[in-house]
C-alpha cells in the first residue's frame, strides 16, 4: 500500500514566506480558492490540481504540497473473532458464550502488559507520572463516560467538521487509557494505565468514524499540544511509506514540525506503522520521534509492525518495541461496536498504536523520576531519552530497535550518568 493523499478537494498545504501570510491569503481569495485553516506558516486550501502552478507562482509562496491522509495505526481482528464465535455455534451454544466471555489465552490487559516495561517497579517507588503533561493526538476521548475514568485536563478538535473532541472511533480512548486509565476489573484481569498520575490532553485530529485526518489536522493538533504545555506527545497514527518510496523528513511539513518541537524539549512517541516488512511510516521516520514497534505476549515483534524500510534503516528505526498485540483497555464508538464480544466499552486490539502509548506512559514516568532528582526540564529532551535507550537497550536491530525499555533504566542512568 503506497501513500495516498487527502481528498475531497483536493487539499494542499501552501507554505508561505515569513511575514507574508495576509498577502498570500488575499491572493488566494482573489483566485477563488478556499482556505481551510492556517497552521504556522502554512495555509491549508482546497483547490483543483490545475490551480497548483498558479498558486506556486504567487509572491510569498514557497511551495505547494498535497496533504497526506493520516490514519489510526491499529489492527482490529473483528472478522477472526466473529468467525470463531460462529464456529462455536454463536449465541445458541454455551461454548460460544464462554469464549465470548474471554476465557482465552491471547488477551493481554494493560495491568499485565505495563509490567513488561517495569511500571510495577515505578509503583513501588511512588512514581506514577504525576505532574507530567501528556497529549494524546488521536481520535479524541469518550466524553460520555469512560470506565477507567482518567483525569482529562484538556479536550480539543482540529477536525473542522467535528469541532467537539468526542471519540466516535474508540482508538483515541484506548490509547489514552493505556497511558492514564485507572484500575478497572474485567473477566481477563484488571485494566490499568502505565502512568495513572499524568495530566492528559485528548486532541482529536483523526475523525469521520474511521479515524482519518489530513496533514494540517495533525500539525494543528501538535501546535495545540505544544501551546497547552505538553512534555510528552503520544501519536498512534501515520501515513504509509511504501517499499519503493523514499520519504524526506526534512521537506515533510509534519516530520519537520516534530523535529523542530523535539528540539524545544517535547518528547514525541510515535507508532512505527502496521504495514509489515519493507514499510515505514510518517511521522515515525522523523528524527525527532521515538518510534515504537509492537510485541506479542511472547515478546516477539508482530508481523504487522513496519520495519526494514531504507528510511528506517538509515535513521535506526524503530527505536524501541513494546506490547501491542491483543491489548485490553477501555474504548468506545466504532471499535466498541466491532469488538462487542469484549464487553461494553472494552476492546482487545492490536497495532503499533497500542505499543506507542505504553512507551509514552513509560517516558512520562521517566520524566517524573528525573524531575524528582532535580534534573532541569530543559535537560530532559529527546537526546537524553535516546541516550538512556541506547545505553541500556540491546544492540539495535531493524526489527526490535533497542528492545523493550524499562523503568529501571532511568534510575540506573541517573545513578551512573547524571548524579
Q: Which residues pair with 64 in a beta bridge?
A: 14
Q: Is 171 a catalytic residue?
A: yes
E-state strands within 278-363: 280-282, 289-295, 320-323, 327-330, 346-349
Cis peptide before 283 (omega within 30 of 0): yes
Catalytic residue among 171, 174, 247, 358: 171
Q: Omega before 55 cis (within 30°)?
A: no
CA–CA gap between residue 376 and residue 347 (Å, rounded): 39
Q: Measure the CA–CA gap between 362 and 114, rounded to whole angstroms.
A: 9
Q: Which residues pair with 44 in a beta bridge?
A: 13, 37
Helix 352-372 to helix 382-392 angle, to the nearest 10 degrees?
100
Please identify which of the residues 305, 319, 353, 358 carries the catalytic annotation.
353
**3-state secondary structure labels for all residues of 95-116:** HHHHHHCCCCCCCEEHHHHHHH
Closest CA to 1 of 242, 189, 223: 242
Note if 305 is an active site residue: no
Cα–Cα nearest to 139, from 72, 204, 201, 218: 204
What is the rounded radius of gyration, in angstroms, for the C-alpha atoms of the chain? 21
Task: For 10, list phi and psi in degrees, rounded to 5.
Answer: -100, 170
326 belongs to the catalytic site: no
**Which of the residues 138, 142, 167, 311 is marked catalytic?**
138
Per the listing, cell 472511533 goes with 169
* Phi, psi values for residue 205, rounded to 5°: -130, 0
Other C-beta atoms closer than 10 Å to the C-beta of 170 total 30
Q: Which positions are catalytic? A: 138, 171, 353
Amino acid at each position: 500500500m503506497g501513500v495516498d493523499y487527502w481528498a475531497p478537494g483536493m487539499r494542499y498545504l501552501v507554505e508561505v514566506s515569513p511575514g507574508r501570510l495576509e498577502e498570500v491569503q488575499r491572493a488566494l481569495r482573489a483566485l477563488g480558492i478556499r482556505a481551510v485553516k492556517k497552521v504556522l506558516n502554512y495555509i491549508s486550501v482546497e483547490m483543483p490540481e490545475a490551480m497548483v502552478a498558479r498558486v506556486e507562482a504567487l509572491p510569498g509562496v514557497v511551495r505547494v504540497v498535497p496533504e497526506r491522509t493520516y490514519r489510526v495505526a491499529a489492527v482490529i481482528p473483528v472478522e477472526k473473532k466473529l468467525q470463531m464465535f460462529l464456529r462455536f455455534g454463536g449465541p445458541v451454544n454455551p461454548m460460544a458464550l464462554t469464549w465470548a466471555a474471554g476465557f482465552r489465552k491471547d488477551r493481554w490487559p494493560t495491568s499485565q502488559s505495563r509490567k513488561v516495561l517495569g511500571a510495577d517497579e515505578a509503583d513501588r517507588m511512588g512514581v506514577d507520572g504525576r505532574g507530567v503533561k501528556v497529549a494524546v493526538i488521536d481520535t479524541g476521548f469518550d466524553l460520555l463516560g469512560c470506565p477507567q475514568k482518567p483525569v482529562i485536563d484538556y479536550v480539543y478538535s482540529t477536525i473542522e467538521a467535528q469541532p467537539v473532541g468526542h471519540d466516535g472511533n474508540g482508538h483515541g480512548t484506548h490509547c489514552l487509557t493505556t497511558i492514564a486509565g485507572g484500575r478497572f476489573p474485567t473477566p481477563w484481569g484488571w485494566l490499568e494505565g502505565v502512568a495513572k498520575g499524568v495530566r492528559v490532553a485528548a486532541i482529536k485530529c483523526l475523525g469521520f468514524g474511521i479515524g482519518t485526518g489530513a496533514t494540517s489536522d495533525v500539525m494543528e493538533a501538535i501546535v495545540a499540544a505544544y501551546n497547552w504545555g505538553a512534555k510528552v506527545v503520544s501519536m498512534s497514527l501515520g501515513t504509509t511509506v511504501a517499499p519503493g518510496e523514499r520519504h524526506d523528513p526534512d521537506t515533510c511539513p509534519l516530520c519537520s514540525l516534530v523535529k523542530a518541537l523535539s528540539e524545544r524539549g517535547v518528547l514525541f512517541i510515535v507508532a512505527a506503522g502496521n504495514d509489515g516488512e519493507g514499510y515505514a511510516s510518517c511521522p515515525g521516520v522523523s528524527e525527532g520521534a521515538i518510534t515504537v514497534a509492537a510485541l506479542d505476549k511472547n515478546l516477539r515483534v508482530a508481523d504487522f509492525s513496519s520495519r526494514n524500510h531504507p528510511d528506517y534503516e538509515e535513521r535506526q528505526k524503530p527505536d524501541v518495541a513494546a506490547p501491542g498485540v491483543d491489548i485490553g483497555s477501555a474504548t468506545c464508538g466504532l471499535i466498541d461496536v466491532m469488538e462487542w464480544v469484549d464487553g461494553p466499552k472494552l476492546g482487545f486490539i492490536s497495532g503499533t498504536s497500542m505499543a506507542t502509548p505504553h512507551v509514552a506512559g513509560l517516558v512520562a514516568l521517566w520524566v517524573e523520576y528525573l524531575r524528582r532528582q532535580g534534573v532541569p526540564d530543559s535537560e530532559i529532551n529527546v537526546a537524553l531519552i535516546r541516550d538512556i535507550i541506547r545505553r541500556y537497550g540491546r544492540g539495535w536491530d531493524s526489527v526490535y530497535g533497542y528492545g523493550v525499555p524499562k523503568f529501571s533504566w532511568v534510575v540506573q542512568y541517573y545513578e551512573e550518568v547524571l548524579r
